[in-house]
Amino acid sequence: MTKNDKTVRDGEPSRPATADDDAPLPRPQNAGEPRTRASGPTDPAHTAGSTTRTGTDGPPAVSPEDDGPVLTASRKAAATVGVGIALLVVSLDGTIVGTAMPRILADLHGLSYYAWVVTAYLVTSTILMPIAGKLGDLFGRKPLVLIGLFGFLGTSWLVGASTSTVQLILLRGVQGLFGGILTAVTFAVVADIHPVRQRVKIHGIFSAIIGLSVVAAPPLGGYITDNWGWRWIFYVNVPIGALAVALTLMFLPYVATRRGWRDIDFAGCVALTVALVPILVALSISNDHAWTSPLMLGLVAVSAVGLPVFLFVERSVANPIVPLRLFLDPVFSIAMVIAGLSAVGLYGLAVFIPLLYQGVLGETATGSGTLLTPLLLGMLVSAPLSGQLIARVRHYRYVGTVGLAAMIAGLLMLTTVTVTSPDWHVALDLVILGIGMGLVWPLSTAVVQASMTKDVVGVATAQVNFWRNLGGTVAVVVLGSIMANRLTAEIASRMTALRAPADLVGRITGGAQQDLSTLFDPAAVARLRESLPEAERAMFDMVEHSMRAGLADVLHQVFLVAAVILAIPLVASLFLKETPIPPASGRRASAGGS
C-alpha cells in the first residue's frame, strides 16, 4: 500500500420504491467503457458527490459508478488469480465429495443419511447466492470474498474432523453458506477491476475452471480417498485457499459505499429462504420419497405459499435482494434462460455419462473417470476461446448458439452408443459436447455484466450462478426420474423376452430388477460368473449383455430428453440482443504498491 491509495464512497442515499422500479433497468451507453481519470486527490470524479479518504489500510477503492480502480496490470492479474483460486476450491468441493461419500458414511455409520449430506450443502449455497450478490453491491465485494474464504476454509477443516453423521450434515450446511457467497461474488469481482472487453475473456477462463472441477472431481476424489483418506478431501482446501486469502488481502481493491445495515432487505431474505428451501429439499430427496408422500406435498405447499410472499416483499422494499425489474429486461431474462437450461449439459450429464462407461461399456470406476478427459479437454479449449470470441465478434450471441448446437449434436451422438461401441466413439462425442459447453458457459455472465448498470452488476451476476445451480439440480432430478421409471420396465421386458431364469437375474440384480449396481463393478461380474456352473455361464453372458443393452436404451432416452431441453436456450440465444463491447483502451495507470 502507498500513502496515495484511497477509498471513495459513492454517497448515493437509499430511497423508497417508486413506480419506476417496475421499468426495465437502463443500460449505460458503452457499458463498462474505460474513462480517463486522474489518480490524484484532485480528480473531479472524486470530489463531486463523494467522500474521499486517504490511508494505508488496503488497496485503492472506487465508486460503483467507475469502471474500476486504476490498477497496474500485475495487480489486476494477482487479484484475478486470487478469486480464481477461490472459485476452483469451491467448485471442486461441491462435486468431489460425491466420490468419497460411500466411504465417509460407512466410516461414520450413517449410510441412511446419504441424501442429506448433499442436500445440506446444496440448499444453503443456493440460498446465499442471490443474497450475497446483493450484499456485494451494497457493501463492496472484498469483504464478502474474505468472509467467504475464511468461513469456507474454517468449516472445511471442521467437516474433515467430523466424528458423526449429524455433525457432518450440520457443518456441510454451514460450509454451503460460505460456498454460496464465494460462488456469487467471484464473477462480480471481475467486473469491479476489469473493463468489459477484458472481463469477458476472464469469464471464459473461469468457466473452464468450473468445467475442470466438475469433470476432474470424481477421479481426484477417488485418488485422495484411496491414498490419503476421505478427511483430506476437506483438509486440502485449507493450504490452497490460504493462497487465495493472501492474494485477496494484498491485491483486491475495496469498493466502498455509504450503505448500512438498514439497507439490507431482511424481509426479502426470510421470504426467499421460505420459498426456496422446501422445494430444494424436495428436489434433493425425490429419489427416496414419492412426490405424493405427505412430506413432499408439505414441502411443495410451503414453497407455493412462500413464492408469492417473496414477490410481494420484493416489490415493496427500497433495496430488494432480487430487483424484480431485472426480469423485465429481455436481455437479462434470455441470459437467465440460457444459464439455467444449459446447466443440463454440465451438471446433469456429469451424473449419467459415468453410467454409460461403467454400466454399458463395462469400464471400471477409475477408468470411467479417466475417459471423461475428452469432455474436460473440449471445455478447457473452448471456454477461453469463447471469451475471446465474445470480446471480438460483433454478433457474439451466435457463439452461444453454436455452443448449444454442438451440445445437442454431442448428445444425439451419445444416443448411438451400444454395448459394443469402442471407447473412441464415446470420446469423440464427449469432445464435441465439451466444446459446446465451453462455448456457451461464459455467455450469460458476459452479457449480463456488459448490459447492466454498475449498481446491480453483483446481484445480476449472482442470478446467473443461482439459475445455473437451480437448473442443474432440476436436470438431475428430471433426468434421474426418467431413468428410474424406464429402467425397471426395460429390464423386465428384456428378461422376459430372453426367458432368463429368475434366480440368475436375481443374483445379478440383488432381487430388484432396477438395481444394476453389480454391472458397474467388472470384478464383481467376473466373480459372479466364476461362481456359476459351466453350463450356466452362457446364459449369464446373455443376461449380462441384455441388461447392459437395456441400460443403454434408457440412457439414450435420457440423452434425447436433454437434447430437447437444450433446444430451448438454443432458440432463445437467437433473440439475445448484444450490448456493444467497447474496445480496450490500453490505458495503464499506477495504483500504488501492494
- Whether 146 maps to a domain, the answer reads yes
- Supply the DSSP symbol for 577: P
The rounded radius of gyration (Å) of the Cα atoms in the chain is 25
Can you tell me the distance from the alpha carbon of 106 to that of 86, in angstroms, rounded to the nearest whole number?
30
**Residue 585: its pLDDT value, please?**
52
Q: Is residue 90 located within the same domain as residue 227? A: yes
Asked whether 135 and 322 are in contact (CB, 8 A), the reply is no
Q: Is residue 127 located within the same domain as residue 229? A: yes
**Residue 555: its pLDDT value, please?**
92
Q: Is residue 111 located within the same domain as residue 154? A: yes
Q: Is residue 241 located within the same domain as residue 309? A: no
| 179: its cell numbers | 460456498
Task: For residue 285, give Cα distances in angstroms to 93, 112, 177, 273.
Answer: 20, 12, 20, 18
- Whether 196 maps to a domain, the answer reads yes
Q: Is residue 260 located within the same domain as residue 270? A: no
Q: Is residue 375 located within the same domain as residue 403? A: yes
Residue 477 neighbours by CB under 8 Å, 6+ apart: 283, 286
| 418: its cell numbers | 451400444
Is beta strand 6-9 parallel, antiparallel or unpaired with respect to 51-54? antiparallel
Asked whether 593 and 1 are in contact (CB, 8 A), the reply is yes
Q: Is residue 310 located within the same domain as residue 337? A: no
- Whether 28 maps to a domain, the answer reads no
Q: Is residue 84 located within the same domain as residue 127? A: yes
Q: Is residue 158 located within the same domain as residue 275? A: no
Asked whether 207 and 383 are in contact (CB, 8 A), the reply is yes
- Whether 420 maps to a domain, the answer reads yes
Helix/strand/coil (H/E/C) assignment for every residue in 26-76? CCCCCCCCCCCCCCCCCCHHHCCCCEEEECCCCCCCCCCCCCCCCCCHHHH
Q: Is residue 213 located within the same domain as residue 126? A: yes
What does the CA dihedral 547, 551, 557, 563 come to, rounded to 10 degrees? -150
> Model confidence over 397-438: pLDDT tens digits?
999 999 999 999 999 999 999 988 988 888 899 999 999 999
| Beta bridge partners of residue 53, listed in sequence order | 7
Q: Which residue has the cell 470524479?
A: 45
**Residue 3: its pLDDT value, please?**
41
SS3 state of residue 8:
strand
In CATH, what number is assigned to the domain containing residue 423? 1.20.1250.20
- Whether 222 maps to a domain, the answer reads yes
Q: Is residue 270 located within the same domain as residue 254? A: no
Q: Which residue has the cell 444459464?
A: 339
Question: Domain range for residue 311?
Answer: 266-318
Can you tell me the distance from the alpha carbon of 575 to that of 169, in angstroms, rounded to the nearest whole number?
43
| 430: its cell numbers | 464427449
| Number of domains within the chain | 3
- Whether 446 maps to a domain, the answer reads yes
- Whether 155 maps to a domain, the answer reads yes
Intervals of the chain under pLDDT 50: 1-66, 513, 586-594
Q: Is residue 214 located within the same domain as residue 136? A: yes
**Residue 26: its pLDDT value, please?**
44
- Supply the DSSP symbol for 359: I
Can you tell me the distance from the alpha carbon of 312 to that of 111, in angstroms, rounded to the nearest whole number?
41
Kindly state the greatest CA–CA separation across the chain. Answer: 93
- Whether 463 maps to a domain, the answer reads yes
